[in-house]
Amino acid sequence: MGCFLSKSNAQADSLNDIKDNTAPLPEQSVVTYAAECGPYSDKNGSRDAPAASEIAQSYGFKRYEYQKLAKATRFFSNVHRIGEGGFGIVYKASLDDDDVAIKKLKIVKLENKLEEIEYLSVVRHPNIVKMIGYCSEGEDKLLVLEFVPNKSLRHHLHDEDKLLEWSKRIKIAINSARGLLYLHEELNLKLYIEILKQIIFFSVIILNQSYADPEYGDKQRVSEKSDVYSFGVVLLELITGRELSDKQGNTIVNWARSQIGQALDNDDYTVLVDSKLEDMYNKEEMIRMIYCAAASVYKPSYSRPTMKQVKCVCM
């Protein structure tokens, strides 16, 4: 499948198209698919699923005692806490002389995490973390994951003392796109909401409505095109250096809607692009990123590009 925008003709692409992209989303839009049932459900959703602990053991994951994980995190002290998602809190710890991330699940039944455990067991990609082991004792359910040393994107973008260079922002975008494309095409998985949040630099992003596809409302459901939307929001962060929302509650998506069209119309990126970058960026790369972000965020789901197309343009 070809790219939705030629890398060499980014500026030549019709500006009318980008304006159409920034039009309000329709009230009803077509969604490619909704990830609703796990791989062990039959058509009626009645097939018995094996316990998640059985899945973990069958793939050779190490089983840890709760006390060992608790001691490694000083009994889940805030000092060791590095992030929180919709389904659990993540702590940094040292086990067997290696740094790891321990995810303490909020939900009681580990069986509800069956998809995450099985998918993490087969994922092997440099931009996606690996699962090492697990713990299941009573109501205490934990996953032990590879530790990714990089802090969150928010930390790097808004560090007052250090500039996140444009070359590094491009690298973040490309690596994240590679990870998502791997999940979409090579693994062909439908349920990976947790894995998505563990892609490098997505790893400590809290499940935040600012990243959620508005076509799903407040439902935490994902599809290939909702992933593209979330990725587009991250691109807006990389381009603008802005917070997801300001103190008045204005979101980066709403703010950038008009700024993108003006920037491309006037060939002036002063307002849109992160002021900390000044002129220290490649203009052609910036324009490609802007088009990717606009097509990913402002188009209805059925018109959004695929991650393959996005990766093609970003590179």
**Residues contributing to the annotated binding site:** 104
The amino acid sitting at 229 is: Y
- Per CATH, 52-146 and 153-314 having the same topology is answered no
Domain ranges of the chain: 52-146, 153-314
| Superfamily of the domain at 153-314 | Transferase(Phosphotransferase) domain 1 (1.10.510.10)
C-alpha 62: how far from its chain's center? 27
8 Å CB contact between 306 and 231? no
Element (H, E) at 133: strand 131-137
Q: Which residues contact 28 (CB under 8 A, 6 or more apart)?
A: none
Distance CA 273, CA 236 (A): 9
| Superfamily of the domain at 52-146 | Phosphorylase Kinase; domain 1 (3.30.200.20)
Structure tokens at 253: 């998506």
**Residues contributing to the annotated binding site for ATP:** 104
The amino acid sitting at 56 is: A
Distance CA 270, CA 291 (A): 17
C-alpha 26: how far from its chain's center? 24
Phi and psi, residue 239, nearest 5°: -75, -50
Helix/strand/coil (H, E, C) string of 62-131? Answer: EECCHHHHHHHCCCCCCCCEEEEECCEEEEEEEECCEEEEEEEECCCCHHHHHHHHHHHHHCCECCECCE
Tens digit of pLDDT at every position of the chain (315 positions): 445 543 333 333 322 333 333 322 222 211 111 222 223 233 333 334 444 455 455 556 788 999 999 999 999 999 999 877 656 788 999 998 889 999 887 754 444 444 555 545 444 544 456 778 888 888 888 888 888 776 666 666 776 678 889 998 898 888 888 877 776 665 544 434 444 433 333 333 334 567 777 887 655 556 778 888 988 999 999 999 998 888 888 899 999 999 999 999 999 999 999 999 999 999 999 999 999 999 999 999 899 998 888 888 877
User: What was the pLDDT predicted at 146?
Assistant: 81
